[in-house]
A and B are shown apart, each in its own frame.
Chain A
Amino acid sequence: MRKTLLLILGILAMSGLSAGCGKDSPNTLTVLNYGKYIESEVLDMFEEETGIKVEYEEYITPENMYTKYKAGAIDYDLICTSDYMIEKLISEGEVLEMDYSHIPLSENLDKAYFDFSKSFDPQNKYTLPYFFGTVGILYNKEMVDESKAASWDVLWDKEYAGKIIMADSVRDSFMVAQKRLGYSLNITDDGQLREAQNLLIEQKPLVYSYLVDEAQDEMIAENAAMAVVYSGEAGLALEYNDKLAFSVPKEGSNMWIDSWFMPKSAKHIENAEKFLNFLCRKDIARLNFDYVYYATPNNRVKESLDKKLQENTTVFPPTETLENCEVFKSLDDEATMRYNLYWKEIKSAD
C-alpha cells in the first residue's frame, strides 16, 4: 500500500510540475520558417510585447515547406520561403493579398527589393522581403587554393575526396551541376537534366555529406574542406574561423530572396500583420540580422552597421556577382517529379 501511495504522490508531483509549464492562450500566431532563420529572443520579445503566443515551426527545404503547408494539417498564419516556391503557391491561388497599410514599418525596406520581387510577385501584392543572398562555396584556405575555389570544378576535384559538403536540397544541388555545364537553373529538358544528374552521381564518392543547416558548423569545426552554402551561413562562419573564405564561382550561381506571405489557411491576419510590422522595426531587424547574417533589405539596419560590414561582399553580394546569378523559377508538376526522382537516384547511387 505504501508503494502505491508513493507512486501516486510521485505522479501528482510530476503532473504539478508539468502543469506549471503549460501556458495556454487563445491569442496565437502560427509561423512557419526556415531553420536558423530568426533570433529566438525576437519571438520572446514579440510574445511579451503583444501577448500573442507564437507557435513557431521550422522546415529545412522549400519542398519540405510546401508539403507541410499542403498537408492542411496545421493552419499556418504566416510563412517565409523562397522566390520560386512563392511563385508556385501564388499560381495555385494559395496566397492572400497583403495590406501594406497595416504594416507601416514596411517603409523601412528598400524599394529595390520590392522591384526585385516582381519576378515572382508581379504586382507586389503578396509578399514582404525578409533576406536575400546567393549560393557559393565556403572553403578552408589552408586546404583549398583561392583560385581553385573560383570555379564549381573544385567540387569534382579528386584531391578533396571525402572533404566536400554538398547541399541537401534538390534545386540547390542541381544548380551546381547545371551552372558547371553552363545551363540555366530552370531547365526541364530531360537530356540536360540527365547530364546534370550524371555529373552529381560522378561527384558522390567525393562527398563527405549532404547537409543544409549543419554545413556551417562542420566547416567551423574543420571537418571538411569546402561546402556549398548560402551566403549568410558563410558570413557567419567567417566570423568564427578565420581560415575560412567564401566564393561565388565564376560560372554563375543562384540569387534568391526569401519573403513572408500569408497563406489561405491564415486565421489570425491581424496578428500576422503585427508580427510583420514587428520584424521591420529597426531594433528587431538588427537582432535578426546579427543572428542570421544574410543581406537585409532593411535600410535602417544597413545604415546602422559599421562601414566594414556594409562592404562585406560575403554578406552583401556586390552587383557584379548578382548580375552573374540567376533566379529559380517554379517548375510544373511533371518537372518537379522528375527532379525529385533524379535526386533520389543520386542519393541512392553507390
Chain B
Amino acid sequence: MMKKSAERIYLLVIFLFLYLPIMVLVVLSFNDSKAKVVWGGFTLRWYRELFSNSAIMEAFCTTIFISLASALLATLLGTLAALGIDAMRKRGKAIMLGATNIPLLNADIVTGISMMLLFVRFTRLGFGTVLIAHITFNIPYVILNVLPKLKQGSRTTYEAALDLGATPLYAFYKITWPQILPGVLSGFLMAMTMSLDDFSVTYFTKGAGINTLSTMIYTEMRKGIRPEMYALSTILFLIALVLLLFINFRPAARKERAA
C-alpha cells in the first residue's frame, strides 16, 4: 500500500512539473497587468490583441502551411523511397538506412547552417527554402515508419496477385497499400510534429518577412514581455488537446470494434 501511494505521489509530482508552466501561461493570459506577475484583474484584452496582430496570425498560417505541405511531400517521397529500399539487396539497404539516419541524428543547428550555406550560394532565402529544409528533415521519419510495415507484410501475396494477372499498380493498391497505411499515417503525423516544433532549421533558412510561430515567438521574446504570447499559448494548448484527443481515442475505439 505504501509503495502504491509513493507511486501515486511520484506521478503527481511529474504531472505538476509538466503542467505547472502551461497553467501559468494560461492564467497569465487572462491577467490584466502587463509587466508584473501579479494578478491585476480578469481581461480578454490579450486575446483581442492577438487576433488583431497580423504578424502573429500570418506566422500561424505559415506554420500550418509549411508543416502540412512538408509532411505531405515528405510522406510521398519517403513512402516511395521505403518501397524502393525494401526491394534492395542487403548492402544497398544498409547504405540507404545509414544515410537516412544522418539528418535524424545530426544536430539541428548544423543541419540548418549547412542548408543555409547551400541556399545562399545558389539562390535567395525565402519561403521555398524553409519548405525544402523541412521536407529534408521530415523524410527519414516517414521511411523509418513505413519500412517495418513493409517487412511485416508478406511479399508472396503481392507476387501471387501479379501471377494471377493483376497489374503492379492494382496489386499495390489492393495488397501493399493497406499493409503500410498505418506506417504511412504515423510517419506523416511524426513528420508534422517535428515540423511544427522546429526552430533551429527554420531560423537559419528563412527569408525576410517569413516567420513560423517558433521564429516569431523567438524574436518577440527578445523584445520583452508580450502578453499576447500567453494568449497564443492557451489557444495552441487547446488545439493540441483537441487534436490529440481526436487522434488517440477515435481510431482506438474503432480498432477495438474491428477486432
Contact = CB atoms under 8 A, between A and B. Distances in A.
- A and B touching (Cβ–Cβ under 8 A): yes
B219 A58 contact: yes
Interface stretch (B4-12, B57-65, B163-171): B57-65
B223 interface: yes
Interface in A203-220: 212-214, 216-218, 220
A15 B65 contact: yes
Interface stretch (A28-36, A84-92, A274-282, A317-325): A28-36
A11 B219 contact: no
Nearest to B177: A4
Contacts of B209: 30, 54-57
B225 A217 contact: yes
Contact of B65 (A3, A18, A74, A217): A18
A21 interface: yes
B119 A21 contact: no
Interface string B8-23: 0000000000000000
A217 B219 contact: no
A18 B61 contact: yes
A214 B223 contact: yes
Interface in A189-228: 212-214, 216-218, 220-222
A57 B203 CA distance: 12
Interface residues of A, number: 43
Contacts of A30: 208-209
Contacts of B125: 73-74
A190 to B, nearest CB: 31
Nearest to A218: B224
B53 interface: yes
Contact of A56 (B60, B208, B222): B208
Nearest to B219: A58
B120 interface: yes
B61 A22 contact: yes
A18 B68 contact: yes
Given A73-B119, A73-B124, A18 B64 contact: yes
Contact of A75 (B124, B219, B222): B124
A55 B219 CA distance: 15
Nearest to A40: B55
Query: Is chain B's binding surface mostly helix, strand, loop or mixed?
Result: helix
Contacts of B35: 217, 220-221, 240-241
Contacts of A305: none
A71 interface: yes
Contacts of A72: 120
Nearest to A241: B35
A216 B64 CA distance: 33
B247 to A, nearest CB: 10
A271 B221 CA distance: 30
B36 A222 contact: yes
Contact of B225 (A4, A22, A58, A221): A221
Given A4-B181, A18-B61, A57-B208, A11 B72 contact: yes
A74 B68 CA distance: 25
Interface string B180-199: 01000100000000000000
A20 B58 CA distance: 11
A240 B34 CA distance: 10
Given A40-B55, A221-B36, A240-B35, A15 B68 contact: yes
Nearest to B66: A18
Contacts of B126: 74
Interface string B34-67: 1111000000000000000111011011001100
A60 interface: yes
Contacts of A187: none
Contacts of A35: 219, 222-223
Contacts of B224: 36, 213-214, 216-218
Interface in B100-127: 116, 119-120, 124-126
A44 interface: yes
B210 to A, nearest CB: 8
Contacts of A112: none
Contacts of B225: 214, 217, 221
Contacts of A217: 35, 224-225
26 contacts: A7-B185, A11-B72, A14-B64, A14-B68, A18-B64, A18-B65, A20-B61, A21-B65, A30-B208, A31-B208, A35-B222, A36-B224, A40-B54, A55-B209, A58-B219, A73-B119, A73-B125, A73-B207, A74-B124, A74-B125, A74-B208, A76-B208, A213-B222, A214-B224, A217-B225, A240-B34
Interface of B: 34-37, 53-55, 57-58, 60-61, 64-65, 68-69, 72, 116, 119-120, 124-126, 181, 185, 207-210, 219, 221-225, 251, 254
Interchain residue pairs A-B with the least CB separation, the first 7? A55-B209, A21-B61, A217-B224, A18-B65, A57-B208, A220-B35, A221-B35
